[in-house]
Structure 1
């Protein structure tokens, strides 16, 4: 047929549509539709059902938008769903839609129409939003069109609307407002379908969006744009309770008129911008982000994280997922590109660089920066040209068929729901993805390994070796694999013969720091009486509770149980060349003095460990610290810190007579450990408290 013959072409379209309307819908399709309607009706508990029955054709809203070409039917009651389904299918063969496909080179074999059914939103106000206004690229703005009632009044151009132009950068200030006279609006009819009604006189000239609604909409739209890495055309609605609904989002084709000139424009802007640091760390998620820095020292800081900021933190944590919707970018000093937070950053599509080593040293809260997580550069100030280039470049892998297929598969693999192992919801039954299963198995395996290591002596009978050391630890070592270089039949081992990386670092820190005190400590009457109540008789204890301090070691592993007087230390660690395998688990308990002094010492230990990136828990005088996924060099330095800490705190509780002693000892310890151990090039994240020159911690 000659498609240029308008009469013949239109007759063919009408014939195809007639056959669709008269055809029987396959029984299995009808039964599946009815089954889903039953499920939805059950969830709605008798509330009336109204659906938007919408087209979802192959290729729609991709390179070509097909905007307004296919049919949608609004507020369809349950009894009319099947007829609306036919209407949408037949809508693919209207003369307008068919010609649109022909003009853009679509073959008829590529035509496939799916039909989406969405519950209607009883919209108080609705409309459309472009995340990049159709202005020159140098003018960074978004534009919102809004009207009272349902959205077709705006997207179909059927009524007057309001127009708001906003700044793309937070806090998305309103640049201009143009209010139309909105005399009528489209609403849902009770028995199905839509109708036009008059707008109340006092609302006809009033802007239909409040400042709060504008902010909600701007933040949601920018988040969608960041995810798809393309400017978006977003259809939306607010209901009468102020809830925002995103009805649809399609790519908004924004491209520079002269790509090569635009690329030179970008290169010039990059060269003229001040580089704060470059090439540091590992890019986890590519992209460009501009905004103010927010440095988070701990989990409590996340409560105040401002929308649109760039998170800067010492270490990575899956707990950052709570602010990823608000964050424009993430930078950390330490961390792994294969860790849990990295996975979440990719899921949320937040530009992220980890393991920079310098982020918290160079950046401070309030700094305005641009993070280029494509070239791995952090610039001072806002470099708008970089953001423009990222969302206007032509080649985007995310728009390919392969990516869309992979994304569907990854929905069953990648999302992480089991974030906090201490949460009551951290259960096998809550696993929803393969990532959840892996995380759950990993955490439970670690718990089991720690339990096994604590009971190693009960289950194995290897020839132990006594450690010959200048400090009287009374330590016995069991070498399970390449942990020492001493002969197999030797009954002792020296420091020089220790090959275990964590054990050598721990002993080195204890020795090099000079923290081990040999002078007797003055004990007051209260502490003396407390020690009497804490003394137990070896005759009343089992053989597993009395005897040698024990370490089970290999070349990269160490499990240590060390009792020094009334102080109990437990260390389980693996330090090797693979960053993802490295971890340290540390536990400290006990003391000779009363519970108040022991608790102060516990807080002192916790503060020191937090300064060196440990995640710490305190329960009375029990301190538990964990750290993982750092480089071998950094893990060795942390182990040396623990060695110094064990020596420093051996009799420290006796001197903890008041709260001020915590700060005094923290300052004293940090100065000594930084001077006498090899950690000076990896400064801790906390600031040293000033100490009075005449003060003495009184150890």
Structure 2
């Protein structure tokens, strides 16, 4: 970058002859830069959307995750290509980092449900809750209750997930059935996809080895329950994810009272129910992919129930109530779970075991019974039992004991199905987790809360949420080391270094910044409520003042607003869906930003790029560096340049990359300039007197002005300064005698693209005066929000991610600073004079900053 400074000469260089090839080279590099910026923004916007989705309240499906990952993957690869085109393939190491991260993400997206290789059938006595991936959730729970809790569970066996795989592979149904792109919001499309999938299953053939295994298991089950007068079974779904975190209640088919010769056909019916419209909708709405839809099946001895029902170990609508709720109906339990008839109810105390707290005995007119030739029949309830409870108090107490035992074993409330046979034997048919609906805290409307003063109601939300605490103003990054726990960080502009206190911050506010910027992404990663672009927070808020940041409605209130803080508590149970778990997993390789400090040479390199965000940040930073040195080119003057006629003592030549100068212009004046940053700079250059000292003062100040203007000033300004411009871009190398400064800027509509970069070196005075000059410039730049590093008399300053208006304003100030500090080192004979010049410049040119 500093090679250009070695070319400073004390006499005018000959202007080389124009060459079209140089301009073409500039255009090609600028085109790559523009494309890189565009893809950089799309990447950051996509990451922001994914993070907001992860933190938000809306469900998404796998199409969302796949499409977003594809966008990021493609665009990151693009910006690596563009960066290497800009830099003559200087950063090929980025490809290795990219491939490593991309492979991890693709592996996560392609990961299938693991189906262990097992026998096609497994008896209940060999099943436990650890075998979910083999026998499905319902079967695993039945085996667990039978073998580890010794609860009364019917005899039966599992047709395993491995059997399902065999069936699907044998008929090539994995490839024939595709519901991944079905729009669940389009009922017609959903029904058509469902019918097509079910038809394929129902017409499929059972492999002979699977059919033989099922037949053998049926025979063995018949031997076990030979004491039963009639041997029939129920064939029940037991999908891999069923009866676990997600119940899938009522989504799949159960075939009741099946004869031994019809078990295989009933098995196929249950497999087909995996693809009913409601099952497809449920799976997709809960974030499951088609590859997650694996169906094991349970074949259970049919209990000829005189009564059956459902039991909750806790009240699902009120976590504070302490009763066990038992609902029951006469006959088979299907009418209870389907709500076809009103159930009788017993509420048994949890605190005083055996105490009946409540009872209800509605009249039941119809019930469902096993048919003599299979299947079920609907019959009238006999008059003598119609008004009676289907359970005695003692039976209700026994069931309540089972409920407490199951809740203790599984460590969470349970939803339990039970049956009572003709001999009054109780059976547990199913147990699964019961979701408790916590008390809802009503979210207030977005209108301002009455009785609470709004301090700021402008800005953009970068991370939703509510945080309250005392204001901690951050003017310089080194102040972060004293950041207190629970404070609200308030800064002039966003900084990735804020990450160091995000585990302490209750909220973040910045006057300047972008919701899709790097820090905003980190805020979402840490879940810190963040508002950016408030413009006035640093001026409005006072250190130590307690405030509440509502980063949902974009308002900042005075004091702690209790109702907002409490209302923020919300149900996030849906965040455990498979799609959210996968989104969370892939985001760990996409969103985190580890490269936070470009000045850290040991870490800010391709070898430390661990995520796509790291690669994006690195490529963006290096691309700006490459563009900054675009004028560091021995062929610069040979480009097709136009002389700019302007009333300043500079010989300026313009190279237009496209859109920077009016078409057809032959005589270039400031009026012909269309480049946004160049126009802003010229406005400043022509608004200040050239060259001249400050107004003459008496005494102390008279010594300052004595040597401001060199007698040979005209010669000192005679070297050519080159400006390479486009509509939004400018790279301007200004030669001021012994000094050289390069000013680069981008001023467009996207805040993420905008920046100013300033590099300065030179001076004909003594070392101490040159150092004072750079100190003066550094202090002024820092006053106007530049980040500046200084090594001797070399300055490197930058400001990034400001809106276009601010960039234009700052360029005008930079232009005035250029004229103001011309040859100033000749007058800077002590530090006090430096301080005076800083105050004068700020007072005269930065009063509104």
Verify same fold: TM over 0.5: yes
Tell me, in whole angstroms, the C-alpha distance in 2 between the residues paired with 1:341 and 1:255: 34
Residue in structure 1 matched with residue 748 of structure 2 by the alignment: 576
Pair 1:523–1:447, CA change in 2 (3 A): farther
The separation in 2 between residues aligned to 1:565 and 1:637, in whole angstroms, is 26
**1:529-580 residue CA offsets vs partner (Å, 9 max, x unmatched):** xx9xxx9x99xxxxxx994121122222211111112221111112122222
In structure 1, how many angstroms separate the alpha carbons of the residues matched to 2:525 and 2:476?
23
Match of 1:183? none
Matched, 1:484 2:661: yes
Alpha-carbon separation, structure 1, partners of 2:611 and 2:244: 43
Q: Does 1:500 align with 2:675?
A: yes
Deviations 1:486-512 (A, max 9, x none): 74544xx22222221111111211222
Residues 516, 17 of structure 1: alpha-carbon distance in 2 compared, 3 angstrom cutoff: farther
Shift of 1:427: 2.1
- 2:731 corresponds to 1:559: yes
Counterparts in 2 of 1:81-160, with a 5 A limit? none
In structure 1, the residue corresponding to 2:795 is in which secondary structure?
strand
2:445 is aligned with 1:270 = no
Equivalent residue number for residue 19 of structure 1? 126
> Corresponding residue for 2:468?
290
Q: Corresponding residue for 2:845?
A: 673
Task: Specify the alignment match of 1:179 in structure 2.
Answer: none
CA contact (8 A) 1:509 1:640 kept: yes
Q: Measure how far apart 1:583 and its partner are.
A: 1.5
Match of 2:513 among 322, 335, 352: 335
- Once the two structures are TM-superposed, the CA of residue 255 in structure 1 deviates from its matched residue by 4.3
Q: CA deviation at 1:106?
A: 10
Q: Does 1:447 align with 2:625?
A: yes
Relative to the length of structure 2, the TM-score reads 0.47
What whole-Å deviation, never above 9, does each CA across 1:422-445 have from its counterpart, x for those lacking one?
Answer: 221122122222222222222222
**Aligned-partner Cα distance in 2 for 1:420–1:285:** 22
Equivalent residue of 2:625, what SS? helix
Q: 1:403: which partner in 2?
A: 580
Structure-1 separation of matches of 2:793 and 2:702: 19
- 2:554 matched to 1:382? no
Q: Quote the Cα distance in structure 2 between the aligned partners of 1:497 and 1:336.
A: 32
Change (3 A) 1:101 1:582: closer
> Which residue does the alignment assign to 1:368?
546
Quickly say closer, same or farther: Cα 1:487–1:422, change in 2 above 3 A. same
2:640 counterpart residue number = 463
Decide whether the 8 Å contact of 2:589 with 2:611 is kept in 1: yes
CA distance in 2, matches of 1:416, 1:304: 23
CA drift of 1:614 comes to 1.3
Gaps of 5+ in 1: 1-14, 30-56, 59-68, 73-92, 113-133, 136-232, 234-250, 539-544, 684-699
Conserved 8 A contact 1:517-1:647: no
The answer on whether the counterparts of 1:311 and 1:330 sit within 8 Å (CA) in structure 2 is yes
Counterpart among 792, 800, 805 of residue 633 in structure 1: 805
Contact 2:650–2:718 (Cα < 8 Å) also in 1: no
Contact 2:443/2:567 (CA < 8 Å) preserved in 1? yes
Contact 1:478/1:551 (CA < 8 Å) preserved in 2? yes
Aligned partners of 2:657 and 2:726 also within 8 Å: yes
Offset of 1:653 from its aligned partner? Answer: 1.6
Q: Aligned residue for 1:310?
A: 488
* Rg (Cα) greater in structure: 2
Match of 2:325 in 1: none
8 Å CA contact 1:414–1:434 kept in 2: the answer is yes
Relative distance call for 1:397 and 1:555 in structure 2 (3 A) is: farther
Q: Residues 523 and 651 from structure 1, CA distance in 2 versus in 1: closer, same or farther, beyond 3 angstroms?
A: farther
Question: How many residue pairs get matched?
Answer: 448
Aligned to 2:835: 663
- Distance (whole Å) between structure 2 residues aligned to residue 362 and residue 420 of structure 1: 29
Partner residue in 2 for 1:611: 783
Task: Quote the Cα distance in structure 2 between the aligned partners of 1:657 and 1:444.
Answer: 38
Return closer, same or farther for 1:104/1:499 CA change in 2, 3 Å cut-off: closer
- Give the match for residue 352 of structure 1: 530
Between the aligned partners of 2:469 and 2:694, the Cα distance in structure 1 is 55
Shift of 1:363: 1.0
Instruction: Pick which of 421-430 and 515-524 moved more.
Output: 515-524
User: How far did residue 446 of structure 1 move?
Assistant: 2.3
> 2: CA distance between counterparts of 1:294 and 1:409?
34
Once residues 634 and 269 of structure 1 are traced to their aligned partners in structure 2, the CA distance between those partners, rounded to angstroms, is 30
CA deviation digits over 1:231-274, x for unaligned, max 9? xx9xxxxxxxxxxxxxxxxx9989446x5xx556x889922111
Residues 506, 256 of structure 1: alpha-carbon distance in 2 compared, 3 angstrom cutoff: same
The 8 Å contact of residues 470 and 487 in structure 2, kept in 1 or not, is answered as: yes
Deviation for aligned residue 1:344: 0.7
Q: Contact between 1:310 and 1:330, CA under 8 Å: does it hold in 2?
A: yes
Closer, same or farther: CA 665–347 of 1 in aligned 2, 3 Å? same
**CA deviation after TM superposition for structure 1 residue 360, in Å:** 0.6
Matches within 5 A, 1:216-231: none
RMSD (Å) for aligned C-alpha atoms: 4.5
Distance change (3 Å), C-alpha of 1:318 and 1:23: closer
Residues 269 and 385 in structure 1, CA contact (< 8 A), matched pair in contact too:
no
- Alignment-derived partner of residue 50 in structure 1: none
CA distance in 1, matches of 2:130, 2:463: 49
Shift of 1:485: 2.7
Give the secondary-structure state (helix, strand or coil) at the position aligned to 1:284: strand
Aligned to 1:517: 692
Q: Are the equivalent residues in 1 in contact too, given 2:494–2:519 (CA < 8 A)?
A: yes
Pair 669,395 (structure 1): closer, same or farther in 2 beyond 3 Å: same
Per-residue deviation, 1:451: 2.5
Deviation track 1:98-129 (CA, whole Å, cap 9, x = no partner) reads 999999989899999xxxxxxxxxxxxxxxxx
CA contact under 8 A between 2:787 and 2:797: conserved in structure 1? yes
Kindly indicate whether structure 1 or structure 2 has the higher relative contact order, using CA contacts under 8 Å at least 6 residues apart.
Answer: 2
Alignment CA distance shift 1:254-1:672 (3 Å): farther
Distance 1:643 1:253, change over 3 A: farther
Residues 461 and 319 (structure 1 numbering): CA distance in 2 closer, same or farther, change over 3 Å? same
Q: 1:515 to 1:630 in 2, by over 3 A?
A: farther
Give the Å deviation of 1:414.
Answer: 1.3
Which one of 499, 507, 511 corresponds to residue 321 of structure 1?
Answer: 499
**Alpha-carbon distance change, 16 to 604 in structure 1, aligned in 2, over 3 angstroms:** farther
Aligned: 1:431 with 2:609: yes
* Distance change in 2, residues 1:510/1:406 (3 Å): same
- For residues 562 and 785 of structure 2, the distance between their equivalents in structure 1, rounded to whole angstroms, comes to 34
User: Aligned partners of 2:816 and 2:513: how far apart in 1?
Assistant: 24
The 8 Å contact of residues 269 and 383 in structure 1, kept in 2 or not, is answered as: no
SS at match of 2:647: coil
Change in CA separation of 1:552 and 1:16 when aligned onto 2, cut-off 3 Å: same
